[in-house]
Amino acid sequence: MEPVSYLEQLMKIESHETVSEIQNYLLETIANAELDETGCIHATKEGAASGPELVFNTHMDVVSPHIAFSRDDETIYGRGACDAKGSLAAMVAAFDRIDPERGTITLLVSPDEETTQRGLYEYLSDGISADFAIVGEPTGLDVCYGARGHYDLLIELSGESAHGGTPESGINATMCAARAIHIIRNLRPREDDELGRNDFTPTIIEGGNRPNQVPEYAKFVVDYRTIPGESREDATERIRACLQDLDCDHAITQYDAGSSLDSFKTDPANAFVERFTQVASSVTNRSVETRPFEAATEAAFFSPSMPVIVFGPGLIHDGTEPIAHSDGEYVPIADVESAAAVLSAFLEQLLSN
C-alpha cells in the first residue's frame, strides 16, 4: 500500500462531525479490521513464533471546520492532513506491508480523540497486553517520549438577577466570571524539568440572556494542562482553592464535551524507544530528536501498561505559525513517506526472524 495515495483518499472523507464513513473505509481497506462497540477500529497480525507485542494507535476524527483536500508536488493540504490522517496513512501502510514471522502488531484507530477520548478509554478499560505502543501525531518525525495532560474544567457561577438600571441590587454572574478568569490566569504555574510548565487557559464562555438584565448565571471552560504528578482531582482542587473568595456561588466539574487526559512520560533510555529512535535516524538519514510532545495525547492511556512514544509526519506548529487545527493545515508528502518507511523498518526488525 502506498501511503500518500491512501492519505489522499482519507482526506476526501469528512470526519469532523461523524466518523461512520471513515470507519467503513478503514474496514474495507485494512486486513482483518473489525469495528468495536466503542467505535475503535482494530486489526492484528500475528507471527507463528513468540515475539514482541506492538501497538500502533492514532485517530480517525478531526476538528471542525472541514477544509477541503488539495495538494501540490510537495504538500497535502486540508483538515486532518497532519492531525492525524498523515499518521493514519503511514501506520496503515506499514501494517499492510508486514507479514510477521514472530510477535504481533495491532493497529488500533480511535474514533473521538479530538473530543472526549472515550472510545479508546473504554476499549482499553479491560487492559491490553503489549510490550510497546506508538501513537501517531504530528511530531515532525521526532520521537516524543512524554506530554502534559489536558483536563477541561467547567466553572459555573450563580449570582442574582436585577434590572440593568440598578446593577448594585443584584449579583452579576458575568462580572464574577471575569474576576474568576483574572484569578485563574494569574495562577503560578508548576513546572516539570522535561515537559515544561502547566497552563490554565479559559476557552468557552457564556453568560446572561438579556442586554438590560444583570445576569444570574454564567459559565466558562478552562483548558488545564497538567504535568506529571497532577491528577484531575488535583487540577479541580487547585482551581477551587483559588476561587474560594469569589462573591458569588460557583461549582467546578469536568466539562462533559471536553478532554480528560493524564500527562505521561516514558524513559527515553527504554530499549524499545532507543531501538525505534535508531531505526528512525537510519531511515531518515538524520539524527532524530527525542523530546516532549507539545499537546496532550491518547498515549496517556497506554502509559500505565507499557512504554509508549508519539511519532508521526507533520507538525503542530512551525515555531511561528500554527499548522494542526489551523485553516492552513498541511503535511509534507515526504514526511508521510518517511513515516511509513520508519514504521515499516521497525516492524521488520522486531517481527522478522
CB atoms within 10 A of CB 344: 20
- For residue 185, pLDDT over 90 is answered with yes
Query: How is residue 353 written as a grid cell?
Result: 526472524
Check whether residue 248 and residue 122 sit in a common domain.
Answer: no
Last residue of a domain, one of 212, 235, 260: 260
Distance from C-alpha of 234 to C-alpha of 240, rounded to nearest angstrom: 10
pLDDT at 112 over 90: yes
Q: Quick one: 153 and 141 in the same domain? A: no
Average pLDDT of span 306-327: 97
Give the pLDDT mean for 56-77.
97
CB neighbour list of residue 297: distance below 8 Å, 6 or more residues apart: 135, 137, 147, 261, 264, 310
Looking at 260, 287, 320, the residue that finishes a domain is 260
Quick one: what percent of the chain has pLDDT higher than 70?
Answer: 100
Predicted pLDDT at 212: 95
Which grid cell is 2? Answer: 502506498
**Is 52 within 8 Å of 131 (Cβ atoms)?**
yes
pLDDT digits (tens, 9 = 90+) for 139-169: 999 999 999 999 999 999 999 999 999 999 9
CATH number at residue 25: 3.40.630.10
pLDDT at 126: 86
Q: Which of 202, 228, 260 is the last residue of a domain?
A: 260
Predicted pLDDT of residue 127: 87
Residues 8 and 19 in one domain: yes
Distance CA 147, CA 140 (A): 15
Same domain, yes or no: 166 and 176? yes
Kindly state whether residues 251 and 272 are assigned to the same domain. Answer: no
Residue 352 has what pLDDT?
Answer: 95
| Grid cell of 264 as nine digits | 505521561
Q: Tell me, what's the pLDDT at 63?
A: 97
Same domain assignment for residues 248 and 318: no
Instruction: Give the pLDDT band of residue 118 (cuts 50, 70, 90).
Output: very high
Q: Please indicate, yes or no, whether residues 13 and 120 belong to a single structural domain of this protein.
A: yes
What pLDDT sits at residue 314? 98
- pLDDT for 70: 98
Q: Indicate whether 126 and 11 sit together in one domain.
A: yes
Same domain, 68 and 141: yes
> 37: which residues sit within 8 A by CB, 6+ positions away?
none
Q: Which residues make beta-bridge pairs with 160? A: 171
Is 90 exceeded by the pLDDT of residue 117?
yes
Query: CA-to-CA distance for 311 and 142, rounded, in angstroms?
Result: 6
Q: Say whether both 118 and 169 belong to one domain.
A: no
pLDDT, residue 177, reads 97
On whether the pTM is more than 0.85, the answer is yes
> Can you tell me whether residue 343 is helix, strand or coil?
helix
Tally of domains in the chain: 2
Q: What pLDDT was estimated at residue 342?
A: 98
DSSP sequence for 91-105: HHHHHHH---SEEEE
Grid coordinates of 275:
531501538
Give Cβ neighbours of residue 147 (< 8 Å, ≥ 6 apart).
Answer: 195, 263, 264, 292, 293, 294, 295, 296, 297, 299, 300, 310
* Whether residues 52 and 137 fall in one domain: yes
Q: Are residues 163 and 43 in the same domain?
A: no
Residues 6 or more apart in contact with residue 34 via CB below 8 angstroms: 27, 41, 42, 43
Q: What tens digit of pLDDT does each residue of 119-146 get?
A: 999 999 988 889 999 999 999 999 999 9
User: What CATH number does the domain containing 190 carry?
Assistant: 3.30.70.360
Question: Can you give the pLDDT at residue 353?
Answer: 87
How confident is the model over 298-313, as a mean pLDDT?
97
Check pLDDT > 90 for residue 303: yes
Residue range 249-274: average pLDDT? 95
Q: What confidence score (pLDDT) does residue 246 get? A: 93
pLDDT tens digits, 19-66: 999 999 999 999 999 999 999 999 999 999 999 999 999 999 999 999
Alpha-carbon gap, residue 280 to 76, rounded angstroms? 22
Q: Structural domain of residue 91, as residue ranges?
A: 3-147+263-351
